[in-house]
Homo-oligomer: A and B are copies of this chain.
């Protein structure tokens, strides 16, 4: 999707750090060669690594003109605001990029192509606007068809939003591929779609069709594949997003789950300042919930834990990994920091393969 080299500007105005700019960080980690610059006028002059810990020397610039000077001809919305609206501060930047005829990639719930002003500008300049959250036209109702696949289906599930489910799935798919296993990654959110070049943004699909949309994707990905790794969304414990999580779980109908958690997170990110703080459930309670919910359609087991240990020094991170493995009695790792090897081992063991075919 993000074709070419050094042609993408990542819009992260006012928010380019490791936690807020989730989409920008994901693209920088997994598609760094595509990125020309990050736009954030509050951090202009710094490097991506300096601001967000990824992306090496990719420069942060103040505006669209500066990104154009570095060769950019496409703009990716690099932040995923809760609710998915268009922050007013971004409109002038989008106007500028569209007027230049840039290709626009947006994962907002609000479709930029339907915006009267931006749509008219794009029609005039010839700019293409890709709203990747726009649902496909014809969608099926799921019927547990993925439960009958020969391929192993693995789903990442989590303690909250934004705890590393996409990253764990990508790292696992890469590790399996490195070992010669025919593995596929199924993207279910905007960042994953930007990285993989295809996928379906399940959270924007009319609710009746969430499971059907992911089922269709999993069936397609399973052709000629041994392991399908599906990016999870939300959490069964999140009062706003749990329905998406369960639809994804039952549509993908996995046999194996990877439980993802950010160690530093103690409360769920829910609602506004006046809303109740909701503590994160224990890993054991999370496992029990996910395995119970999976079994309503197809039994699945948590076969590993993927921790996001950001903010911890290495001894603390290793201790957290060891504690998670001890608590659940399954392999654990921080897939970014320590590699996805333990998860790949667990997936292959679960699939009845104790080593890779070409190992």
Measured CB to CB, the residues of A under 8 A from B are: 82-84, 109, 135, 140-145, 147-148, 202-208, 210-212, 236-237, 239-248, 250-251, 253, 270-272, 275-276, 278, 281, 289, 292-293, 296-297
Known: A253-B239, A289-B292, A296-B236. A244 touches B207 (CB 8 A): yes
A212 CB to nearest chain B CB (Å): 6
CB pair A242 B250 closer than 8 Å: yes
CB pair B237 A242 closer than 8 Å: no
Residues of chain B within 8 A of A248, CB atoms compared: 243
A251 to B244, CA, bound (A): 12
Q: Which one, B206, B208, B275, contacts A143 given CB within 8 A?
A: B275
CB pair A143 B247 closer than 8 Å: no
Q: Count identical subunits in the complex.
A: 2
A242 to B247, CA, bound (A): 6
Could you list 17 examples of A-B contacts with CB < 8 Å? Answer: A82-B141, A109-B206, A141-B240, A143-B272, A143-B275, A144-B276, A145-B271, A204-B206, A205-B207, A207-B243, A207-B244, A208-B240, A208-B241, A211-B243, A239-B250, A240-B250, A293-B293
A210 to B238, CA, bound (A): 13
A206 CB to nearest chain B CB (Å): 5
Q: Which one, B144, B206, B212, B242, contacts A246 given CB within 8 A?
A: B242
A250 to B237, CA, bound (A): 9
Further pairs besides A143-B239, A145-B271: 9, Cβ < 8 Å: A143-B272, A144-B275, A202-B207, A203-B208, A239-B251, A243-B245, A243-B250, A245-B246, A281-B296
Residues of chain B within 8 A of A140, CB atoms compared: 83
Residues of chain B within 8 A of A278, CB atoms compared: 144
Q: Which one, B204, B239, B270, B297, contacts A242 given CB within 8 A?
A: B297
- With most chain B CB atoms within 10 A of its CB, the pick from A83, A145, A208, A292 is A208
Residues of chain B within 8 A of A145, CB atoms compared: 271, 275
Residues of chain B within 8 A of A245, CB atoms compared: 243, 246
Q: Which one, B143, B250, B270, contacts A271 given CB within 8 A?
A: B143
Residues of chain B within 8 A of A297, CB atoms compared: 237, 239, 242
